[in-house]
């Protein structure tokens, strides 16, 4: 690939209008970073070839999928860093308040935009926003997949059944797409613009500009890069054999940065290739970072019910329905789960990890969701509870990875039928004894006891 172009398979033309003079505007949403961002690169290359300036705009939605004020504080803190880094390139950053369809068309007219570029997301809210905006603009509108290494639409044209069927399709294309990013540090002549009203932004959605929960990671592209460096130096080595041990400290802790797009998965994968670690560790990390993460985008792209019980495969739904009337020896509602008030110390520790750190260790996340299935009045209620808790408390929630995590645990998505048992039917079962075989359950419970 030439040094100043973006692979056309990464780019989808959402609105085909004649080429028009005027600034090329990147409507940033999912990929909230300046470096290693294919959508920004595409906008800049196009601007430079048309001898036009580039600009970036972010539309702040008042309520996003159950996000808490703290999630918004994390996001806005990262966006302030984006604004400063864009400043160094002479690229203005604009912040609009309210529904994109109401604010973006007027803004684009105001600055005489000639092209609109946005980044790819399979989520329904993102699709709704883009089709609404498409109705009210008359300039070319491109969507660039800046989140996936192999563009989602290229990896597969249909919903995949499992990692087993998806992995070969990804692997076959990594040669084309797992490549170094072109640099584009040319500074453009900046054009006059009012700075974003950050005070209003923090006050309106983030409950003011207070500090983040102290167990949360620091927000922003720089902190994300530092986190990657630390993980590659200390955690990646044991990633293969300690990945299922929540006490081993080998988790990358990159998922909040990947969710908010403050770091590029492609950059993480490229750096892991350079790391001096056993091949098994690198492969285990690539499996999570590339295959599993892109499989969740695939599920959300091709299954509109990705965040609901209606989306799970027929074999699982039939089996869960067959066992819907089995006795539940414990029953909890969303508020008891949220407050970690179950009878099970291990489950409560996982919920407290979620409340304190904004994430649950991968292995425990499966146990956490599967026990919600076991202790809810119905499988559908369990699904809704798990999605609601994950979206409300997880820093990396409101993300395809989170929805697929729940759908796998409760609905057998990307998994296969197991031997039938009460309540779970043929959905894979997990219990505390299984956890105890993997790691020191007592020390995990101690770590999250209050
Ligand atoms: N994206 C936006 O474009 N505007 C928002 O106001 C916004 C809020 C938000 C809050 C929490 C959160 O986890 C993500 C949020 N996002 C927002 C980014 C969001 O990750 C992506 O735009 C969607 O997930 C599409 O993938």
- The SS3 of residue 342 is coil
Q: What is the pLDDT of residue 155?
A: 98
Determine the atom of ligand 1 nearest the C-alpha atom of 260. 20
- The whole-model pTM stands at 0.97
Where do runs of H (alpha helix) occur along 264-361?
A: 265-274, 279-286, 293-302, 314-322, 334-338, 345-357
**Pairing verdict, β 115-119 and 93-97:** unpaired
181 lines ligand 1 (CB under 6 A): no
Please work out whether the CB of residue 71 comes within 6 Å of at least one atom of ligand 1: yes
Distance from the CA of 58 to the center of ligand 1, in angstroms?
Answer: 10
Residue 395 CA: nearest ligand 1 atom is: 13
* Closest C-alpha to ligand 1, atom 19: 30
> Is the CB of residue 67 below 6 angstroms from any atom belonging to ligand 1?
yes
Of the candidates 26, 17, 30, which has an alpha carbon nearest to the alpha carbon of residue 116? 26
Domains of the chain (ranges, CATH numbers): 8-147 (3.40.50.620), 150-180+221-302 (1.25.40.80), 309-447 (1.10.579.10)
Residue 2: the pLDDT is 58
Question: Which of 25, 27, 29 has most ligand 1 atoms within 8 Å of CB, for mutation?
Answer: 29
409 burial via Cβ count (<10 Å: 0-12, 13-18, 19+)? buried
Give the pLDDT means over successive 10-residue stretches in the chain (450 positions). 83 96 98 98 96 97 89 97 97 97 97 98 97 97 98 98 97 97 90 92 91 92 98 93 83 95 98 96 96 98 98 98 96 98 97 95 95 98 98 97 98 97 98 93 92
What is the predicted pLDDT for the residue at 254?
96
Whole-Å CA distances, 207 to 69, 72, 73, 196, 392: 6, 9, 8, 18, 15
The Cα 109–Cα 265 span in angstroms is 34
Calculate the CA 413 to chain-centre distance.
18
pLDDT value of position 243? 80
Question: CA-to-CA distance for 136 and 237, rounded, in angstroms?
Answer: 51
HSE value, Cβ hemisphere, 13 Å, CA-based, for 391: 19
Structure token pair of residue 141: 């509108």
């Amino acid at each position: 690939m030439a040094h100043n172009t973006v692979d056309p398979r990464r780019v989808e033309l959402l609105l085909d209008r004649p080429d028009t003079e005027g600034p090329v505007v990147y409507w940033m949403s999912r990929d909230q970073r300046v470096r290693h961002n294919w959508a920004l690169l595409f906008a800049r290359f196009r601007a430079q070839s048309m001898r036009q300036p580039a600009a970036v705009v972010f539309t702040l939605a008042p309520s996003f999928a159950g996000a808490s004020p703290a999630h918004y504080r994390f996001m806005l803190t990262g966006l302030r860093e984006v604004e400063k880094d864009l400043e160094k390139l002479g690229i203005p950053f604009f912040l609009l308040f309210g529904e994109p369809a109401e604010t973006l068309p007027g803004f684009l007219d105001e600055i005489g935009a000639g092209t609109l570029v946005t980044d790819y997301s399979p989520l329904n809210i993102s699709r709704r926003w883009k089709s609404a905006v498409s109705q009210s603009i008359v300039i070319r509108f491109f969507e660039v997949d800046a989140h996936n290494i192999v563009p989602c639409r290229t990896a597969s044209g249909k919903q995949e059944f499992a990692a087993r069927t998806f992995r070969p399709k990804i692997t076959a294309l990594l040669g084309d797409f797992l490549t170094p990013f072109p640099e584009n540090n040319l500074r453009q002549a900046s054009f006059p613009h009012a700075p974003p009203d950050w005070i209003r932004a923090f006050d309106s959605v983030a409950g003011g500009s207070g500090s983040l929960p102290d167990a949360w990671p620091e927000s922003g592209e720089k902190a994300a890069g530092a986190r990657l460096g630390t993980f590659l130096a200390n955690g990646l080595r044991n990633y293969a054999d300690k990945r299922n041990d929540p006490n081993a400290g080998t988790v990358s802790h990159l998922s909040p940065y990947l969710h908010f797009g403050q770091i590029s998965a492609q950059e993480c994968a490229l750096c892991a290739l350079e790391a001096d670690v056993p091949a098994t560790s690198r492969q285990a990390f690539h499996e999570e970072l590339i295959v599993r993460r892109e499989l969740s985008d695939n599920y959300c792209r091709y299954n509109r019910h990705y965040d609901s019980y209606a989306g799970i495969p027929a074999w699982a739904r039939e089996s869960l329905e067959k066992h819907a009337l089995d006795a539940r020896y414990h029953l909890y509602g969303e508020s008891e789960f949220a407050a970690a008030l179950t009878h099970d110390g291990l489950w409560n520790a996982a919920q407290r990890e979620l409340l304190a750190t904004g994430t649950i260790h991968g292995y425990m996340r499966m146990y956490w969701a599967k026990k919600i299935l076991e202790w809810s009045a119905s499988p559908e209620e369990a699904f809704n509870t798990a999605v609601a808790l994950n979206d409300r408390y997880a820093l990396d929630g409101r993300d395809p990875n989170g929805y697929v995590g729940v759908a796998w645990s409760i609905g057998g998505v990307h998994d296969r039928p197991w031997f039938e048992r009460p309540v779970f039917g043929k959905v894979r079962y997990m219990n505390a004894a299984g956890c105890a075989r993997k790691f020191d359950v007592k020390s995990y419970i101690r770590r999250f006891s209050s």
